[in-house]
Amino acid sequence: MTDMIRVDAHVHLYRTREEGSTEKRGYEVWEYGTQTDIHETECVGTVDELLVQMEATSISKAVIVNLFSAKVNRQIAVAALPEQLTESEKGQRLADINAWIRDEIISFNRWNCDISRQNSGLVPFVAADVNALPGPLCAQHVRDMVENHSAAGVKLHGAFQGFDMSDERLWPTYQVCQELAVPIIAHSGPDRDSKGFAEPRAFGRMLKAFPQLRVVIAHLGGGSWAQTLEIAQTYPNAYFDCCEIIEWTRSTNGPTDQQLAQLIRDIGPDRVMMGSDFPWYDLDHSIDRVFSLPLLSQEEKERIVGANAVEILGL
């Protein structure tokens, strides 16, 4: 019975405790403004931590939307270069960094697929990044991950990765996803430089150009949630998860519980999925938050916590 199933549609995992805590430290959730009592988890995103929380909450499937930013990795590596390099030494070092980044995204994605093979409850969505894999390489890598490593979808984070969701360098990757019928889960929200790369409006051109592609606009628009309803009403291939934003409903920029529930109502509750955004928040708290929303029926909330993800993501 799919209506009994519980799914976490948005989880991040890291290969080591160190990798998880470094990423958490370097990733500030700023867009909602301030909120005094934000519920955060102590976890850092290891597989074991997640499995314990899944067991405790009867969540049988978790979608692993791993995040990789060539831009951020490159910035850190370039800042660590010694100062007195000649131009040619510098050129060589930059080429080495680019090669390392290419290898790194591929091995991170392979790891995601490998752990998902070992744990039947994990569903791997692999990172795609045209700044790591330029030209045709990104689409080729995604095809390889889906066809040969059982990747179930693709994860994007335009604000963190530094490209627009409708950047045509992504078109071949979108084409592959549409052709192979695998969905994309993409972060949405404002970016620090106000480029609008991942705001709901930035998804318009890609949703229009790839009408068969299922695109999950994560966080319901996040800090730019006021743009979300229009995109939902214009593009039937847009879907949503309510993670992160649901933890910030007493913040200065986020919606209230009432506004969030109304937004889900207006979009259509069958197009919205629950996620935890673990290891930023806890799975049990994410479930509680959905069930505490006003305006939605018990049945609609139960679907948000499981059955919708089964249908939308084809689990």
**Contacts with Zn ion, residue ranges (CB under 5 A):** 277
Output the DSSP codes for 232-249: HHH-TTEEEE-TTGGG-T
Question: At its nearest, how many Å lie between Zn ion and the CB of residue 108?
Answer: 15
How distant is the alpha carbon of residue 116 from its chain centre?
A: 17
Which residue's CB is nearer to Zn ion, number 27 or number 171?
27
Nearer to Zn ion by C-beta: 108 or 172? Answer: 108
Among residues 277 and 302, whose Cβ is nearest to Zn ion? Answer: 277
For Zn ion, the closer of residues 41 and 302 by Cβ is 41
Tell me whether residue 31 or residue 277 sits nearer to Zn ion (CB atom).
277
Closest approach, Cβ 97 to Zn ion, in A, equals 26
Judged by DSSP in three states, 188 sits in coil
> For Zn ion, which is the closer residue by CB, 164 or 277?
277
Is residue 196 a contact partner of residue 227, using CB atoms and an 8 Å limit? no
For the stretch 77-84, contacts whose Cβ atoms lie closer than 8 Å and that sit 24 or more positions apart, written own/partner, are: 77/101
Strand order across the beta sheet in which 153-156 lies: 7-11, 61-65, 122-127, 153-156, 184-186, 215-217, 238-241, 272-273
183 touches 216 (CB < 8 A): yes
Closer residue to Zn ion, CB minimum distance, 7 or 97: 7
How far apart are alpha carbons 271 and 284 in whole angstroms?
Answer: 21
Q: How far apart are the first and last CA of the chain?
A: 13
Of 108, 111, 147, 114, nearest in space to 128 by CA:
108
Strand bridging mode 61-65 / 215-217: unpaired
From the CB of 214, what's the least distance to Zn ion, in Å?
Answer: 18
Instruction: Choose between 191 and 277: whose C-beta lies nearer to Zn ion.
Output: 277
Closest separation between CB of residue 23 and Zn ion, Å? Answer: 11
CB of 45 to Zn ion, least distance (A): 11
Which residue of this chain has its Cβ atom nearest to Zn ion in the complex?
A: 277
CA-CA distance, 14 to 253, in Å (whole number)? 30
Q: Residue count of the chain, please give it.
A: 315
Smallest gap from residue 189 Cβ to Zn ion (A)? 10
- Rounded Cα distance, 218 and 180, in Å: 21
Cβ at position 289, least distance to Zn ion in Å: 16
Smallest gap, in angstroms, from Cβ of residue 94 to Zn ion?
29
Gap between the Cα atoms of 70 and 270, Å rounded: 34
